[in-house]
Amino acid sequence: MIIYPAIDLLDGCCVRLSQGDYDRQSIYADDPLEMAKRFEATGISELHLVDLEGARQKSVVHLEVLKRIKDQTGLNVQFGGGIKSRTDAEKVLEAGADRMIVGSLAVQDPKEVSAWIDAFGSEKIVLGADLKSGKLAVNGWQESGDQDFDPFLKFYLERGIRRVLCTDVARDGMLAGPAIELYKSILEKFPETELLASGGVSNLDDLRELEEAGCFGAVVGKAIYEGKIKLEELSK
Task: Compute, in degrees rounded to 10, the torsion defined by CA atoms 70, 63, 95, 40.
Answer: 10
What's the CATH number of domain 2-235, 3.20.20.70, 3.40.50.720, 3.40.50.300, 3.40.50.970? 3.20.20.70
Percent of the chain beyond pLDDT 90?
68
CA distances 219 to 85, 114, 159, 232, Å, are: 25, 25, 25, 17
DSSP state of 120: H
User: In which element (H, E) is residue 156 found?
Assistant: helix 149-157
Catalytic residues: 8, 130
Whether the predicted pLDDT of 17 surpasses 70: no
How much is the pLDDT for 29? 65
- Structure confidence at residue 172 (pLDDT): 63
d(CA 159, CA 186): 18
Whole-structure pTM value: 0.89
Per-residue pLDDT for 22 more than 60? no
Mean pLDDT of 155-164: 98
CA–CA distances in Å: residue 120 to residues 59, 67, 150, 189, 211: 19, 19, 24, 27, 30
Residues 150-166 have a mean pLDDT of 97
Check pLDDT > 70 for residue 50: yes
Of the candidates 203, 141, 198, 134, the residue with the CA atom closest to the CA atom of residue 171: 198
